[in-house]
Amino acid sequence: MVEMLVDGQPGESIPADDRGFLYGDLLFETIAFHDGQAPLWAWHWRRLRAGCERLGLTAPAEDLLLEECRRVAVGKRCVVRATLTRGSGGRAYEPPVEPACRRIVQRRAWPSDADRFRQEGMRLVTSPVRLASGSVIAGLKHGNRLEQVLAARHCAELGADEALLYDAGDRLVEAIASNLVIVVDGRALTPSTDSAGVSGVGLAWLCDQPGVALETVELTAREVDRADEIMVINSVAGIRPVTAVDDHHFAIGATCRAWQDLWDAGVEI
Residues forming the active site: 30, 141, 174
Strands 77-85 vs 102-108: parallel, antiparallel or unpaired: antiparallel
Contact indicator for 194, 138 with CB cutoff of 8 Å: yes
**Rama region for 243: left / alpha / beta (φ>0; ψ in -120 to 50; rest):** alpha
Q: Of 110, 99, 96, 105, which Cα lies nearest the Cα of 35?
A: 110
Task: Enter the DSSP assignment of 12.
Answer: S
How far is the first Cα of the chain from the last one, in angstroms, to the nearest whole number?
Answer: 24
- 3-state secondary structure at position 131: strand
